[in-house]
Amino acid sequence: MSLFDYKLSDLQEMLHKKEISVNDLLDEAYNRISEVDGDVKAFITLNEETARARAKELDELRGTPEGRGLLFGMPIGVKDNIVTKGLRTTAASQILDNLTDPLYDATVVQKLDAAEAINVGKLNMDEFAMGSSNENSSYYATRNPWNTDYVPGGSSGGSAAAVAAGEVPFSLGSDTGGSIRQPAAYCGVVGLKPTYGRVSRFGLIAFASSLDQIGPLTRTVEDNAYILETIAGLDKMDSTSADIEVPKYTEALTGDVKGLKIAVPKEYLAEGVSDEVKEAVQKALKVYEDMGATWDEVTLPHSKYALSTYYLLSSSEASANLARFDGVRYGRRSPNAENMLDMFKLSRSEGFGDEVKRRIMLGTFALSSGYYDAYYKKAQQARTLIKKDFDDVLADYDVIIGPTTPTPAFKVGEKTEDPLTMYANDILTIPVNLAGVPGISVPCGFSGEGLPIGLQIIGKHFDEATVYRAAHAYEQATDFHTQKPSLGGAK
């Protein structure tokens, strides 16, 4: 039995009773990475030397009042678009390949360190978080631990795959349009996108600033709650972080959902959602009924505009955010440039991948004179309507429940030539980001090919506690979260 099969709270107890050491946990992580990451390819950069030194410090504090951080001694992986002081941070892009020694830590990394967690390494992703399969990484594609012929989802594919493969018990990802929840569903783990503003974005390399949120991926809902409790809260370095008290999320995990009112949008079980995904969601709703919850079908009428709204807004913000990568201050500078204009053009054309270029061009077009009102402004108006749909439904219901993705994971290479089909994989997660509400994905079944299916639970603004309560009760009533992947498939 792996040490990572234990819950965070159990590991903490074992550490403080000196039944295991922090170094034992690191051995578990790095041995497993050595064993399987050649197939999974979840990590870009490892942090072993620094992690071992930190483990030695923490082992001396076991059982003492000083060694009582909420995540004491816990190994964790960090997505590679979250800045780590002194540790290479690339956003899986060649334009940042040489950013080997960042000067500061992201706020979430500072909070992990204060909670006495240990960063094992930086996790693979779609370049600049732009993608739904992890095939857009400029290094290599991460594979799904359930079957390495299949994608792990994206853009936080490395974060989800590392947890599913048992390389780390917890990881951080970022979610702009489903980039935590979709890979969590594909890899059979728990992934939460918090309310926009719940977690500081300081130190997150921006894709779309009005949509991006950092969140945790874990094996269980309880562990997820511990991680969010650690990283959430107001940050003076991020003007969009909210000054709202962070509750003890684990206290919400009562297992009791009697009287819980669930809304099920008919749009989330409509054409395009596979029969086996619909069946898994219907069975999950029956579990909730048996626990005393009630559900009604509702409508989110403007969801049909979510995909086009998202890609216009996110690409527009990306075109502005990525303008800073110009070869002047940091990152790649083309050795082929003969003058300043060539330096700008060549550094960007050589450093950015095709998907990043595609979105920069789309965003620049949408923001350009003569098209701003027709595209960007119209998309902002549609976003307002989408948010209102959620507000109206959540005024009468505690949570919204549906599938996380229309289908289970697809094969590597299956959709790379068709960007529009690839974009549609996020159609059920994107509205949550546009509305700014919290959403979680928990395992709720398996396809005929043995691939995980995810259940998405969406809550009110800053009501992650209810989302966790609903997710935890379902998790405890089922055994999907206890099943582990095989690393079989193509090598």
pLDDT score of 3 more than 90: yes
Q: Which two tokens stand for residue 388?
A: 């209102």
> According to the model, what pLDDT value does residue 491 have?
33
Which one is catalytic: 137, 138, 155, 159? 155
pLDDT category at 488 given cuts 50, 70, 90 is very low
- Residues 156, 171, 179, 200: which is the catalytic one? 179
- Greatest CA span in the chain, whole angstroms? 71
At residue 66, the pLDDT reads 80
Identify which of 30, 68, 65 has the alpha carbon closest to the alpha carbon of residue 47.
Answer: 30
Catalytic residue status for 79: yes
Q: What is the pLDDT of residue 330?
A: 85
Q: Is the separation of the CB atoms in 157 and 166 below 8 Å?
A: no
Please write the tens of the pLDDT for every residue from 45-62: 999 999 999 999 999 999
- Please compute the mean of the pLDDT values over residues 34-39 and round it to a whole number: 97
In the prediction, which pLDDT does 332 show?
92
The b/e string for 4-35 (b: 16+ C-beta within 10 A; e otherwise) is bebbbeebbebbbeeebbbebbbbbbbebbee
Instruction: Give residue 325's pLDDT band: very low, low, confident or very high (50, 70, 90).
Output: very high
Q: Is 357 a catalytic residue?
A: no
Sequence-separated (6 or more) residues with CB below 8 Å from residue 198: 213, 228, 232, 241, 242, 244, 246, 438, 462, 464
* pLDDT of 128: 98
d(CA 471, CA 187): 17
The percentage of the chain sitting over the pLDDT mark of 70, rounded to a whole number, equals 99
Query: What is the pLDDT, as a whole number, of residue 424?
Result: 74
Looking at residue 64, its pLDDT comes to 84
Q: Which of 456, 461, 478, 437 is nearest to 262 (CA)?
A: 456
Q: Number of helices and strands (H, E) in the chain?
A: 15, 11
Q: What is the Cα–Cα distance from 316 to 314, expressed in whole angstroms?
A: 5
**What type of residue sits at position 252?**
A
Handedness of CA 224, 481, 172, 312 (dihedral sign): negative
Say if CB 429 and CB 405 are below 8 A apart. Answer: yes
Dist. CA 42–CA 33, nearest whole Å = 9
Task: Provide the pLDDT for residue 302.
Answer: 96
The answer to whether residues 439 and 457 touch, using CB atoms and an 8 Å cutoff, is yes
Q: What is the pLDDT of residue 262?
A: 98
Mean pLDDT over 2-20 rounds to 95
132 catalytic? Reply is no
Q: What is d(CA 152, CA 487) in angstroms, rounded to the nearest whole number?
A: 12
Question: Mean pLDDT throughout 439-467?
Answer: 98
Helix (H, G, I), strand (E, B) or coil at 163: helix
Interval 458-468: pLDDT, tens: 999 999 999 99
Write the pLDDT tens digit of every residue in 390-441: 999 999 999 999 999 999 999 999 988 777 777 778 899 999 999 999 999 9
Instruction: Answer whether residue 489 shows pLDDT above 80.
Output: no
Write down the pLDDT at residue 415. Answer: 86
Residue 26 has pLDDT above 90, yes or no: yes
pLDDT at 487: 74
The SS3 call for residue 235 is coil
pLDDT of residue 184: 98
pTM of the model: 0.96
What pLDDT score was predicted for residue 204?
A: 98
CB 313 within 8 A of CB 304: no
Mean of pLDDT over the chain: 95
CA distances from 378 to 53, 150, 388, 451 (A): 53, 37, 16, 38
392 class by beta-carbon count within 10 Å (0-12 exposed, 13-18 middle, 19+ buried): middle
> Which of 41, 79, 193, 460 does the annotation list as catalytic?
79
For residues 172-188, b (16+ Cβ closer than 10 Å) or e, as one string? bbbbbbbbbbbbbbbbb
Q: What is the mean predicted confidence (pLDDT) over 307-317?
A: 97
> What topology does CATH give the domain 3-301+386-482?
Amidase signature (AS) enzymes (3.90.1300)
